[in-house]
Structure 1
Amino acid sequence: MSFDIDEVVANLRTARTRWRESQQRQREPGGRELPSREALQGILDSLRGVLFPMRLGPPDLRQDAEDWYVGHTLDALLHALCAQVRLELRHAGQHEADADGLVRRFAASLPAIRGLLDSDVLAAFHGDPAARSVDEVLLCYPGIDAMVHHRVAHRLYELGVPLLARIVAELAHGRTGIDIHPGATIGAGFFIDHGTGVVIGETAVIGERVRVYQAVTLGAKRFPTDPDDRGGVKLQKGLARHPQVEDDVVIYAGATILGRIVIGRGSTIGGNVWVTESVPPGSHVTQASLRQDRRP
């Protein structure tokens, strides 16, 4: 069996050229144009070990070597992260020299990120009667895995490398089925129980000690548009369009909450409800209560 490889290669080159011309991209001087998912996966794996060395670090690590391992691993991963940051800055037309300072600020954030993750682990342990230890929560719960990624991704997003942040978020999405945009702001003690199918949009703001269950959506209700250069329409980007969830709220499985609305402090949102209007603090929203509200 033989294949006409040369023809396929030529046709693929034509497809690439057509795409680059449609995007008004110039020929790159050489080397990779964009950050690497594979490189970022390795960085995240190392960073998980740095944050929790005796639980997510190497299996043969001993506590008396903990600081050595953290320092050695951190030095290597920060250099690797700096290379990825440079790629994004170059692609965005920004100064690559800014990468060093950005990564230093990221490194300085790691103790605070660890503190937030500790609060998430404790929230899961206290919020799930099936959890037998905080170690079980850290090692086994997909919601915690998603939050490790999100706390890192959100900091990268704040520091001005949104593409790296989005890749980190999507690595977690692929691993856990939990889709959290790195722009979402999430307070301490956040617990995602079970987790598969959870969606949290870019401009969502979540307070402290909030608990959500599987298949919960904090999404946008509508997408304003502007005319584009071709006579069609394009979505307006960057608008605040996702819910604000105040402290101590519980949102049960399958609930869909849409638009820039406020879920008041201490409220409970029942399973499989559809909420598109703000609710005051202390509310209990269920399918039964919604049916009663609709009666004449």
Structure 2
Amino acid sequence: MTDNAQENQPAGYLPDAVWQPKTVYGGQFASINRADSGARFEQALPVGKHPLQLYSQGTPNGQKVTILLEELLALGHEGAEYDAWLIDIFKGDQFGSGFVGINPNSKIPALVDHSMNPALPVFESGSIMVYLAERFGAFLPSEPRARSETFNWLMWQMGTAPFVGGGLGHFYAYAPIKIEYAIDRYAMETKRQLHVLDTHLASHEYLAGDRYTIADMAVWPWHPGSLFGVYGTHAFLAVEEYTHLMRWYHAIAARPAVARGRLVNRTSGAPGTTLRERHDAADFDALLK
């Protein structure tokens, strides 16, 4: 322990020998976060007309899956038609019994494939993407080198997202007070991640080389997608200085399937940028005219 406890935040704070939850936490998620898991109330999940049922919200992790589904449909895979039901994490929908039943970790997104008997639940965005890519034989190369490269970057994203979202995003945008040490710690790591991508994309069209894969779909909403939108840190981090990353980002943003997928299950944004639920391709018509 440090000897200068008066300089801690709050002054005099030192960690207890055994952590105990506080009675009151500040911040946007104060009434939701707990140290235990499991359902908090009974709430069955709705089921639509398609075999694939997605339960999600249009966060970066949610966008990964809806972008993939829209890309699969654009390729002509009719079996990728899906219903996307909103799980509003700001209201605690993720703790309903139905959702916890398919994802005990209570995090979006979660998918149920009703074409399987019994129906197959899949949770964790990376797992869902691999499942769908293998199920439809698209966006995941079979050749060992390209396949490994795709998995390298997919797993890289899964490991780095906590620093961007849970770290910088929380302390910059959601924490009840601004803590310089915490923001600087996570800003430095996020900048390093942006540099990793920029350096790689200087000599590669896409993350796995010359082909567009689930790795690109996974990384795009986070780096720098979340820094532009969810957390508003693009100026703070000078994201535009990563020219190779921005070339890649804008190229993917221009894809029609990406334009559709990023809208699904969004609850906030400018008019024409939110589609709370998606049950048919025609649901986009009013937004993407």
TM-score in same-fold range (> 0.5): no
Taking structure 1 as the reference length, what is the TM-score of the superposition? 0.28
Structure with the larger RCO, 1 or 2 (CA within 8 Å, 6+ apart): 2
Q: Judging by fraction of residues, say which structure has more strand.
A: 1
Q: Looking at CA atoms only, which structure, 1 or 2, has the larger radius of gyration? A: 1
Taking structure 2 as the reference length, what is the TM-score of the superposition? 0.28
